[in-house]
Amino acid sequence: MSDIKDIETGTEAPAARQAPEEVPRPRGIGPLGWLRWGWRQLTTMRTALILLFLVALGAVPGSALPQRGQAPEKVAAYLSDHKTLGPFFDKLSLFDVFAAPWFAAIYILLFVSLAGCVVPRAVKHYQSMRARPPAAPRNLGRLPQSVSYETDAAPEDVLAEARKVLRGRRFRVDVSDGSAAAEKGYLGETGNLVFHLALLGLLFALGAGNMFGYRGSVLLTEGKTFANSLGQYDDFTPGRLFDDDDLAPFTIGLDDFKAKYEMQGDKRGQATSFDAWVHYRDKPSGKDEKYDLRINHPLKVGGTKVYLLGHGYAPKFTVKDAKGNVAFQDTVPFLAMEPRNLTSEGVIKVPDAEPDQLAFYGILWPTAVASEDGKQIVSAFPGALRPVITLSSFKGDLGLDSGTPQSVYKLEGIGKKLQPIKGGEKLLEPGETFKLPGNAGSITFDGMSEYVTMSVNHDPGRIPALIAAVLAVLGVATSFLVRRRRVWVRASAGKGGRTVVEVGGLTLGNPTSEFDDIVTALRGPDAPEGDDASRGEAGPDGEAGAEPEHDGTEPEKNGAAQKDGAEPEHDGTEPEQDGSEPETNGSEAEPGADRGSGSATEPKE
């Protein structure tokens, strides 16, 4: 039996029937690779735009639904009216959108995405600004703007003049290897980066303001003073990292308020001005300062801005109980029921009356007149020309001792612990007194005062946000107005002792007239009108439509050889006359590349 090694050559099994060699399976990219992939995806501009859209989309519920930070009573009413949707929305934090974890996650991801995208771009842009301008392409005639001409000046003098002209136009210039390369227009990319960096700053400033700032509303009646403490705010919304000790110890007192209205014509009753004269102190030991608080003219005090929001009437009352003691004497703010003529309603609570607590519900007409049908009273003007109040009286238990918070503008427990006084309705004018039936006491309408509502805002990120917004606008405007421009000048010795000068230009976008001005400055004012120079404009296929280049005996034409019937370029030597067509052995300079490259066409041997 012959050994297996003795098998004749050519009798082995075909390669197709042989078992293929086992190829090792590719290994996974690993945890580090997945992290790199995730970071690259997060820091793309596409992801940043998606996150920006999600931020805008997430803010919609904050505008459409009541928020606990601004109107907790409206949130409670919504939950009471919508038994199914209300709890579902509450689980999604739609009643506190801007403090919700999902909104914070989107906000932080957007910040990280923009930072990871813009900061590396800014570093590369800084490096490119300090780098040398790109070298001149071999064939300047293929550029969108190009010119060639001859001059008697030496090549060194031409390049020196090119350096002077281009630097005078604020180009960065580099002269080497018989050519000058110049570039400018980095301000456009700088503006784009400034816009994105300013957007980052804006996000950071808004976040800082929401975390460390606060916002509150105050109702202040004439003759009273507000101290900046939590207990004196009608509504207060602190930031997440706000501390009570951050409240500045300033005080504001309302001396007088005046509103002026149109008295005649179709605009009768329309307000023309609001003036609240206040006095304030930065600190308890400070000096009183005066200020005219008006719409869009906030008061700056204690690191806050105090805005005038609205106004209303606060009638003054004196209430005596059944024993004849003065149980209440103060002004009571009435809230407007309709804004045009300021018909208002208010509640007077007298918990110190004995033996029964007293309460009154009133409607105020600043300028009371009879309606057209004569059956009711209406207000004909927002000014207090003839104030009249209708009062309804109650007695019993106000429920203030139960520990349940109550609104000062609403009576609780009517018909239960608080009963209407029979015959306790009365129409009062200033100075009139109404004695309650059953010797339950009396109430006197002493006169009219006015109040203002103010908004106190402390936002440490306000000024940085304003600066960032201004920089963003300037940056985006600059990025649209400034374009990148490059110019190359090559000077070489020609025949007859003259110098051949080639000038090429490349502008991001459409060509500009600046190139023509540079060429005119390089050639000088004494250049003849009919000088043999040619300018090439790029055709649809990137080639110029000028005549082919010639050797050094004639000025060089810019542009490549035409496609149909054009002669090939010459490189200074005559091609062999063997009937063969020349072919190109170089590539065209690619507009927009950092380092242009290309070679002139050479005849084929």
pLDDT digits (tens, 9 = 90+) for 373-389: 878 888 999 999 999 99
Q: For residue 233, which amino acid is it?
A: Y
- DSSP category for residue 134: P
Quote the pLDDT of residue 483.
Answer: 87
- pLDDT grade for 198, boundaries at 50, 70 and 90: very high
Residues 211-237, mean pLDDT to the nearest whole number: 90
Angle between helices 186-212 and 462-481 (to 10 degrees): 160
Distance between CA 518 and CA 516 in Å, rounded?
Answer: 5
CB-based contact 567:561 (threshold 8 Å):
yes
- pLDDT grade for 585, boundaries at 50, 70 and 90: very low
Q: What is the pLDDT of residues 510-537, one digit of tens each?
A: 788 889 999 999 987 656 554 444 444 4
- Residue owning tokens 């910040």: 111
* pLDDT at residue 164 is higher than 90: yes
Q: DSSP letter string over 197-264?
A: HHHHHHHHHHHHHHHH-EEEEEEEETT-EEESSGGG-SEEEE-TT--GGGS---EEEEEEEEEEE--S
Q: What is the pLDDT of residues 138-153, one digit of tens each?
A: 899 889 999 999 998 8
Quote the pLDDT of residue 571.
Answer: 43
Which residues, including other chains, have CB under 8 Å from residue 66's CB and lie 6 or more apart?
A: 74, 75, 77, 78, 95
* pLDDT at residue 299 is higher than 90: yes
Which residues, including other chains, have CB under 8 Å from residue 363's CB and lie 6 or more apart?
A: 337, 343, 344, 345, 389, 390
Residues 4-30, mean pLDDT to the nearest whole number: 59
Which residues, including other chains, have CB under 8 Å from residue 231's CB and lie 6 or more apart?
A: none
Three-state helix/strand/coil letters over 513-545: CHHHHHHHHHHCCCCCCCCCCEEEEECCCCCEC
Quote the pLDDT of residue 70.
Answer: 67
Residues 150-175, mean pLDDT to the nearest whole number: 92
CB-based contact 558:544 (threshold 8 Å):
yes
Residues 301-306, mean pLDDT to the nearest whole number: 91
* pLDDT at residue 154 is higher than 80: yes
Q: How many CA atoms lie within 13 A of 259 on its CB side?
A: 22
| Short-list 573, 564, 596, 598, CA closest to 584 | 598
Lowest mean pLDDT among 191-205, 289-303, 551-565: 551-565
Distance between CA 240 and CA 185 in Å, rounded?
Answer: 44
| Short-list 542, 534, 523, CA closest to 558 | 534
* pLDDT at residue 542 is higher than 90: no
* pLDDT at residue 270 is higher than 50: yes
The two tokens of residue 574 are 């005559």
Q: What is the pLDDT of residues 44-100, one digit of tens each?
A: 888 988 998 998 898 888 888 888 766 777 888 888 888 888 889 988 888 888 878
Q: Where are the alpha helices (DSSP H) in 59-180?
A: 60-64, 72-81, 85-91, 101-130, 155-168
Distance between CA 487 and CA 363 in Å, rounded?
Answer: 80
Quote the pLDDT of residue 510.
Answer: 77
| Short-list 383, 391, 378, 402, CA closest to 347 | 391
Task: Name beta bridge partners: 448.
Answer: 315
CB-based contact 171:522 (threshold 8 Å):
no
Task: Name beta bridge partners: 390.
Answer: 363, 427
CB-based contact 483:185 (threshold 8 Å):
yes
Quote the pLDDT of residue 559.
Answer: 38
Distance between CA 458 and CA 151 in Å, rounded?
Answer: 70
User: b/e per residue, 583-593, with b = 16+ CB within 10 A?
Assistant: ebeeebbebee
Query: C-alpha distances in angstroms, 470 versus 194, 196, 409, 430, 593?
Result: 11, 12, 44, 54, 33
Distance between CA 109 and CA 240 in Å, rounded?
Answer: 19
CB-based contact 207:518 (threshold 8 Å):
no
Helix (H) or strand (E) holding 194: helix 186-212
CB-based contact 346:364 (threshold 8 Å):
yes
CB-based contact 358:322 (threshold 8 Å):
no
Q: DSSP letter string over 546-559?
A: SPPP--TTSPPPPS
The C-alpha angle with vertex 170 and arms to 165 and 172, in degrees rounded to 5, equals 90
For the chain, helix (H) and strand (E) counts, in that order, are 10, 24
- Residue owning tokens 């004018």: 429
3-state secondary structure of 257: strand
Distance between CA 361 and CA 335 in Å, rounded?
Answer: 12
Count CB-CB contacts under 10 A for residue 437: 11
- Residue owning tokens 């370029």: 569
Q: Whole-angstrom distance between the N-terminal and C-terminal Cα of the chain?
A: 66
Distance between CA 346 and CA 545 in Å, rounded?
Answer: 87
* pLDDT at residue 474 is higher than 60: yes
Query: C-alpha distances in angstroms, 464 versus 202, 204, 205, 456, 510?
Result: 7, 9, 6, 19, 37
